[in-house]
Amino acid sequence: MRETFSRALASFPFIFLSFLMTDLSRYYSSDYKVRVVLYYIDHLPSTSFNAVAKLFKIPGGHKTVKRWYDQYNGSVSSLQSKPRSGRPPILTRRQIKKYILDPVIEANREPYPIHYDQIISQIKEKTNNDISIQTVRRYGHNSSGIKKRTPIPRTRQQCI
pLDDT tens track for 17-48: 444 444 334 578 889 999 999 999 999 888 89
pLDDT value, residue 80: 86
pLDDT value, residue 149: 66
pLDDT digit string, tens, across residues 63-106: 999 999 999 998 888 888 878 788 888 888 899 889 888 888 88
pLDDT value, residue 48: 92
Q: How much is the pTM?
A: 0.46
pLDDT value, residue 104: 83
Residue pair 53/61 in contact by the 8 Å Cβ criterion: yes
Average pLDDT, the chain: 79
